[in-house]
């Protein structure tokens, strides 16, 4: 009887432990956070379990966040702004800075288009509210043109790639690694890039209820991701080899993508808040969102410590 009771106690304890285990449901875009975390060996000895979900772009990832299908994920500043304005219960809890050479409007190699002016009145594909959409609006405004100077066709990446190849659109406003893939494998050309006109921000974002209920796990994940990002930037060849196997694209695509983007973790500070407000204001002027947001209210600085600790090691 004692053995039976002891066994029952162990079984109940194990059941309780399983029920108490924290599970982070993380959304990712192929070749992004999970790829660098695995390549850097930053997922060892996790004190929680991760359930990964992969998405082709930020928009469906944010839709999953809104539907409570995932807890958190990595997205650009522009789609995050679009989602926050639509009432998705989400906040940015960590940031990265990157160069904008790879955020570009791309045209086929044999296209007569040489500049943004050549695209006036023509069709440009991109994702609604995406960083590609942001680039189109920012480039038009920078050139003194109205948002309707070009015809924006809203497409997911796979659809846009096919439309560009078939001639259904004249250009595709996209981001890495699609840009490097199109240039190196298909001979496409960039005619506009985001340098100087877009902030170069991306965020790791989380649902409000996950921030409240899974804070410790999210804090740990943010630190691991910052460490992995730094490793990736300092170890391009090793990262490219791992990324290439995972994504199924040649290493030269990865090497160009990594060198061109030059990603670095960033604490959510006054400069990040100011740049996010720029994106909000751009979308408001273009009529893409109807309500002015306060950037400080949708950026959460309480997760900065692990990022600052990692930055202090450099």
Look at residue 3 in the predicted model and tell me its pLDDT: 52
Domain identity same for 270 and 137: no
pLDDT digits (tens, 9 = 90+) for 63-114: 999 999 999 999 999 999 999 999 999 999 999 999 999 999 999 999 999 9
Instruction: Give me 85's structure tokens.
Output: 């304005």
Domain identity same for 76 and 206: yes
State how far the Cα of 223 lies from the Cα of 309, in Å rounded to an integer: 8
Domain identity same for 87 and 113: no
Domain identity same for 25 and 125: no
Residue in this structure with the two tokens 């060996």, named with its chain if needed: 41
Average pLDDT over residues 182-194: 97
Confidence of residue 19 (pLDDT cuts 50, 70, 90): very low
Instruction: Give me 275's structure tokens.
Output: 């740049």
Domain identity same for 188 and 113: yes
Domain final residue pick, 193, 220, 240: 193
> Does residue 52 sit in helix, strand or coil?
strand
Domain identity same for 270 and 134: no
Q: For 272, how many CA atoms within 13 A lie in the half-sphere containing its CB?
A: 24
Number of domains within the chain: 2
Domain final residue pick, 193, 226, 260: 193
Domain identity same for 183 and 208: no
Look at residue 16 in the predicted model and tell me its pLDDT: 42
Distance of CA 248 to the CA centre of its chain: 20
Domain identity same for 79 and 113: no
Domain holding 174: CATH number?
3.40.190.10
Residue in this structure with the two tokens 């590609």, named with its chain if needed: 132
Backbone angles phi, psi at 296, to 5 degrees: -65, -25
Average pLDDT over residues 266-292: 94
Confidence of residue 312 (pLDDT cuts 50, 70, 90): confident
Domain identity same for 91 and 108: no
Rounded to 5°, the CA angle 63-69-72 comes to 80
Domain identity same for 265 and 295: yes
Domain final residue pick, 193, 224, 254: 193
Domain identity same for 208 and 302: yes
Expressed as residue numbers, the domain containing 74 is 2-97+200-311
pLDDT digits (tens, 9 = 90+) for 216-274: 999 999 999 999 999 999 999 999 998 998 889 999 999 999 999 999 999 999 999 99
CB-based burial label for 91 (10 Å; 0-12, 13-18, 19+)? buried
Domain identity same for 81 and 215: yes
Instruction: Give me 215's structure tokens.
Output: 């804070």
Instruction: Give me 273's structure tokens.
Output: 């808040």
Look at residue 212 in the predicted model and tell me its pLDDT: 97
């Amino acid at each position: 009887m004692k053995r039976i009771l002891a066994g029952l106690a162990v079984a109940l304890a194990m059941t309780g432990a399983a029920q108490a285990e924290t599970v982070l449901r993380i959304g990712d875009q192929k070749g992004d956070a999970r790829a660098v975390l695995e390549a850097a060996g930053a997922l060892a000895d996790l004190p929680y379990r991760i359930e990964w979900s992969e998405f082709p772009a930020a928009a469906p990832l944010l839709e999953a966040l809104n539907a409570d299908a995932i807890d958190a994920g990595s997205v650009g500043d522009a789609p995050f702004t679009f989602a926050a304005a639509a009432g998705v219960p989400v906040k940015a809890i960590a940031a990265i800075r990157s160069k904008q050479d790879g955020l570009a409007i791309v045209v086929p190699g044999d296209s007569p288009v040489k500049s943004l002016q050549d695209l006036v009145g023509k069709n440009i594909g991109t994702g609604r509210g995406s960083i590609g959409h942001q680039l189109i609006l920012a480039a038009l405004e920078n050139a003194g043109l109205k948002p309707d100077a070009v015809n924006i066709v809203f497409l997911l990446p796979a659809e846009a790639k096919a439309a560009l190849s078939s001639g259904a659109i004249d250009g595709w406003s996209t981001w890495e690694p699609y840009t490097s893939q199109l240039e190196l494998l298909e001979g496409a050309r960039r005619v506009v890039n985001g340098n100087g006109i877009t902030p170069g921000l991306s965020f790791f974002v989380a649902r409000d209820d996950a921030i409240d209920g899974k804070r410790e796990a999210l804090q740990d994940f943010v630190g691991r991701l910052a460490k992995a990002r730094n490793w990736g930037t300092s170890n391009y060849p090793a990262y490219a080899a791992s990324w290439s196997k995972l994504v199924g694209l040649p290493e030269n695509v990865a090497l160009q993508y990594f060198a061109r983007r030059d990603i670095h973790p960033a604490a959510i500070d006054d400069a990040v808040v100011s740049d996010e407000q720029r994106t909000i204001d751009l979308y408001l002027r273009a009529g893409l969102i109807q309500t002015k947001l306060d950037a400080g209210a949708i950026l959460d600085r309480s997760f900065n410590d692990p990022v600052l600790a990692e930055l202090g090691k450099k």
